Amino acid sequence: MKQERNESGFSLLEVTVVLGVMTLIIGVAFTLLNRFQQTSRYEEAYADAQRNARFAVTRLNEVIRTAGTNPTGDMVVNNWRFVEFGTNGVFQASGTQSEGNSLHLKSDLNGDKQPNTTVSSDSDVIVTSENITLRHDSTNRQILMVDNTQTGGATIPLADNISSLSFRDPDGSRRDVEVSITAIPNGISAGDPRYREVKYTTTIRLRNRR
């Protein structure tokens, strides 16, 4: 007796439907993966901006607190204008400006009663210059420290990816400096819908001007 074999398989329509469903699932999976990767990249950029802002504030705190160092206690030195506020590195002769994006700091680190020396660096010295300017470079988005005792002013970058920097005397005493900075996430354009900036404001009391 002749046996019949069942050789029926998937129809072309069934195969097409299965392939379409699989393509849809794979497409959704890749879309979700891409979104996850983008979110991770954004969050890492913002976390890096926060770390950068905290670092910038810490570094500025170290520098500003050294202003007014006067190891000999000389009264002439005490009468210096240890802190001056300016705009774009320009300071008024009267020294009456109380806010700006630049800060001029003087000290007498070596006790010679003159703010014109760069002392040798050691483990106890954070700032080695007795005459420095802190300012914001808006073009390169950097905070710069300029050593005014060097010919032409030696410039040292303190922090990158800073879109704004401002200094303010909160009470007119020249004993405190309020610092406000805005850090930006690296690699994310300002036109991006997810673009966010990190803003920090702190008040720094000069160690030597209590």
User: 78-134, pLDDT tens digit by residue?
Assistant: 888 889 999 988 998 888 899 999 999 998 888 888 888 888 766 455 678 899 999
pLDDT band at 13 (very low <50, low <70, confident <90, very high): confident
Buried b or exposed e, range 84-123, using 16+ CB within 10 angstroms: bbbeebebeeeeebeebbbbbbbbbbeeeeebeebeeeee
Cα–Cα distances in angstroms (integers) from residue 91 to residues 94, 100, 133, 135, 185, in the given order: 9, 9, 10, 11, 31
pLDDT value at residue 126: 66
Residue predicted with more confidence, 202 or 119:
202
**pTM as predicted:** 0.78
